[in-house]
Amino acid sequence: MNLQKNQIIELDITSMTAEGSGVGKTDEGIAVFVPQSAVGDKILVKILKTKKTYAFGKIERIITPSKDRKNPDCPYFNKCGGCVYRHITYDAEKKIKEQKVKDAVTRIGGIDERKIKPLISSDKFNRYRNKAQFPVGIDKDGKIILGFYAFHSHRIIDCDDCMLQPEIFKTVMDITRGFMTETNQQPYDETTGKGKLRHLYIRYGEKTDELMVCYVVNGNGLKQEDLLVERLKNALPNLKSVVINSNREKTNVILGSKNRVAFGQGFIYDELCGLKFKISPLSFYQVNRETAEILYSKAKEYANLSGNEVLFDLYCGTGTIGLSMARDCKQLIGVEIIADAIDDAKENARVNNIDNARFICGNASEAALMLEKENIEPDVVVVDPPRKGLEKDLIETIARINPDRVVYVSCDPATLARDLKIYGEHGYETQEITPVDMFLGTSHIECVVWMSRV
């Protein structure tokens, strides 16, 4: 029997997808994806959408709950697309994430699962993030709303607080919402391209207690900006910067390329692994500081430096990984495509009195070719690309310049697995993979991998 929309069926949830949705199979073998269900649940499911071999549904009623279930303790869990595992214990979440890594690296990468070490994390489940980007919009009654996109959508869910964010962000959200309402300013509308304020972007240096508030605006600024800055300053003694970021493009990309400082210095500092880091609005910075230190120390262990090595840190952001290893190698060369991040990296070397670092702004693949032409022979190469992983060309260049060890930091197990396979074909054997949970409650998982030349 084919499933029909709105039909209600009984279902046992038997597995999870990589995105954190529960899955059960009907007697006819049709897979039904049910968000916020848990392995071991027996549920009544309302079918929302059907395809030939699979369907999507939502929980109508839980008949027998999974033993992994716990109270989600967030009023937005049913609506928001951020966390997917707030309804199960962290032990259960860990197992799902370990399985996600195992599935990817064994199936796509063809790597022996014994190379995968147990997942490590900080066990700080709430308020671990230091960065938020809240879309701003208007509801059907004309009220300013600010919060998160619903799962797989661009519908804004109004929200006062997020359990993953520092409490101080609430104050910034309240002030922003109040200011927009009182000054009667229209937020940006994605469909018409009209209106000003697109996103509220906040960053917090947890160790230094420095706060940066950034408004992403379709234009040059907001009306009565001084009033807004005054209110933020009065409420937040640790406010270091207010920045206006201009983004006039019709795009999903949140930040534009131009910043104007409305108050303060235009950046913040934070500390990681005993070093101080300057972070500008456009520069990448790890969102979970505590686990970033865990990740970096694992990467350092895998780099196994003795003091004599030439080290490449490709996709270096503000230089954090490389600089945390610079005192243990002879020379560090970092490469990063965002110019502001490279400026930060240079400054970060200076403020930490590190004088054996060189930073290059450019595409990692092209910069690696350039370094090859300069005949620089690295002993260790660290790569930390965005989710799409590495270009095949770059892996080939790295194999030619022939470092002893490659350390691969990845935020996507699937592209990691694809790339490990290519590395394998070029003579780099995966020795060890450690999953590091930097994104507790969400479906994301970071990995750090040690490869060596065979």
- Give the residues lining the site for ligand SAH (CB under 6 A): 284-286, 315-317, 320-321, 335-338, 341, 363-364, 384, 386
* Distance in Å, CB of 364 to ligand SAH, minimum: 4
What is the chain's length?
Answer: 454
Q: 255 or 337, CB closer to ligand SAH?
A: 337
Q: 225 or 412, CB closer to ligand SAH?
A: 412
Q: Which residue is nearest to ligand SAH (CB)?
A: 317
Q: 144 or 383, CB closer to ligand SAH?
A: 383
Q: 66 or 397, CB closer to ligand SAH?
A: 397
* Distance in Å, CB of 317 to ligand SAH, minimum: 3
The helix, strand and coil proportions of the chain, stated in percent and rounded to the nearest 5, come to 25, 35, 40
DSSP 3-state of 158: strand
**C-alpha 454: how far from its chain's center?**
33
* Distance in Å, CB of 280 to ligand SAH, minimum: 11
| 88, 62 contact by CB (below 8 A) | no
* Distance in Å, CB of 239 to ligand SAH, minimum: 24
**CA terminus-to-terminus distance, the chain:** 54
* Distance in Å, CB of 382 to ligand SAH, minimum: 8
- Annotated active-site residue 411? The verdict is yes
* Distance in Å, CB of 189 to ligand SAH, minimum: 29
Closest by Cα among 350, 301, 289 to 323:
350
Q: 89 or 363, CB closer to ligand SAH?
A: 363
Edge-to-edge strand list for the sheet holding 405-410 = 120-121, 428-437, 446-453, 405-410, 380-383, 310-314, 331-336, 357-361
Q: In the structure encoding, which two tokens stand for residue 305, read together?
A: 């430096």
Q: Which of 74, 83, 329, 411 is catalytic?
A: 411
The torsion region of residue 85 among left (phi > 0), alpha (psi -120 to 50) and beta comes to alpha
Q: Which long-range contacts (CB under 8 A, 24 or more apart) does 221-228 make?
A: 221/260, 221/262, 222/183, 222/185, 222/196, 222/197, 223/183, 223/185, 224/179, 224/183, 225/262, 227/179, 227/183, 228/175, 228/176, 228/179
Q: 336 or 437, CB closer to ligand SAH?
A: 336
In single-letter form, the type of residue at position 209 comes to D
Q: Which residues participate in catalysis according to the annotation?
A: 411
